[in-house]
Structure formats: structure tokens, C-alpha cells
Amino acid sequence: MRDGFSWSAAHAPAIGAPEIGRRPGEIRTFRFRCLRSFKRGGFHILEADGAEFDAAIPFEVFKSLPGSLDFSRRTIEATGLVELYKGRPQVMIGVPIQIKRVD
């Protein structure tokens, strides 16, 4: 825990990715199916299937994730602050505990 905040404390029940557009500024956990995984700038992007939403993971964090790094067509849970990037909702993944493969 740092500065009184814990990612596990923020881990409320996951909500669907279509909800994310109504949640900017909130720290939430979103469950989504990854349509595709690709590189953009210094990030690895996981694009949600059926929702306007991305999880952005810096390369250094992406490389440190445990297990397979193939997220395409997998169900994912991402926890973090919902931000808008060029008008599109996203969650920035800064530490591995913020992302989990569900299947």
C-alpha cells in the first residue's frame, strides 16, 4: 500500500467494458474480451471487443507480466483509473497486479 491506496482495495466486482465510457475519473475494474493486441508508441494496447475501450500497458510492464503474453480473444480484467485518450476511454496499466487473464 502506498499513500493509503491499495489496488486490492479498489478491486470491486468487475463491470463490463461498455460501461467504461460513463466512468471517466473513476478507479474501476473492467472485464472485456480482447479483440486484438498491438504496439502503439511505447505501449502495448489491448483493444476491447464490442466496446470503445483500450488497456494501455508500457512495454516494460508488458514484458514483466507472468504467463503468456497472447491476450487476443482472451477475457481480461483491468483495474485502474479511467482516462480519455483522444476521446476514447482507456485504463493505463502501471503494475502487473492491475491486469488479469480470466480465460
In whole angstroms, give the CA distance from residue 42 to residue 57.
Answer: 9
Q: Judge whether 72 lies within some domain.
A: yes
CB 80 within 8 A of CB 34: no
H helices present in the chain, as ranges: 7-10, 59-64
At 32 the pLDDT is: 94
Q: Judge whether 69 lies within some domain.
A: yes
Q: What is the CATH number of the domain that holds 15?
A: 2.40.50.140
At 7 the pLDDT is: 52
At 15 the pLDDT is: 82
Can you give the residue range of the structural domain that contains 89?
7-101
Q: Judge whether 1 lies within some domain.
A: no
Calculate Rg over the CA atoms of the chain. Answer: 13
Total tally of structural domains belonging to the chain:
1
Q: Judge whether 2 lies within some domain.
A: no
Q: Judge whether 86 lies within some domain.
A: yes
| Per-position pLDDT tens, the chain of length 103 | 445 555 554 556 788 878 888 888 989 899 999 999 999 999 999 999 988 899 999 999 999 999 889 999 999 999 999 999 998 899 999 999 999 999 8
Whole-angstrom distance between the N-terminal and C-terminal Cα of the chain? 28
At 5 the pLDDT is: 52
